[in-house]
Amino acid sequence: MSKSELPALEVIGQDADVCCSPMVREPLDEAAAVDLARMFKALSDPIRLRLLSLIASFEGGEACVCDLTGPFDVSQPTISHHLKVLREAGLVDSERRGTWVYYWVLPPALARLSSLLQAPAEAPTAAAGGAR
């Protein structure tokens, strides 16, 4: 598969240089923390987490909004609100095609958060001491 077919993965590579250092390696600066907190806030709701997971695990990596209400005990407007929060946080994107809007996750955004949260390679000295 040629690089030109994978624009989203090229972006991951770019982000890795500038944004994806694990937070355990050096303290986050204030601007990065504000930006990242906004993304984590979008993930801080169980329905939004399940929506994101549902979209991402759909065959082909995208889902029609018509497929996203069935699994939830909430109204269509509530689902639409949650999808808007995910989109505004840069975690998903969407496009209208005819009657329906289709959603897909943005892999670079997930990769950024995943890299940020990478655990330390070794347990902290104190915690590994076994005294607790």
Residues that bind a second copy (CB under 8 A): 1, 4-9, 12, 23-28, 30, 33-34, 36-38, 40-41, 43-50, 52-54, 56-57, 60-62, 71, 93, 95, 102, 104-108, 110-111, 113-120, 122-128, 130, 132
Q: How far is the CB of 78 from a second copy (least distance, A)?
A: 15
Q: How far is the CB of 77 from a second copy (least distance, A)?
A: 20
Long-range contacts of 67-76 (CB under 8 A, 24+ apart): 68/103, 72/47, 74/47
Which residue is it, tokens 């972006």?
11
Phi, psi of 107 (to 5 degrees): -55, -35
Comparing CB distances to a second copy, the nearer of 76 and 95 is 95
Q: How far is the CB of 66 from a second copy (least distance, A)?
A: 16
Q: How far is the CB of 93 from a second copy (least distance, A)?
A: 7
Which residue is it, tokens 């944004």?
19
Query: Exposure string (b/e) for 96-127, b if CB count within 10 Å is 16 or more?
Result: eeeeebbbbbbbbbbbbeebbeeeeeeeeeee
Comparing CB distances to a second copy, the nearer of 57 and 76 is 57
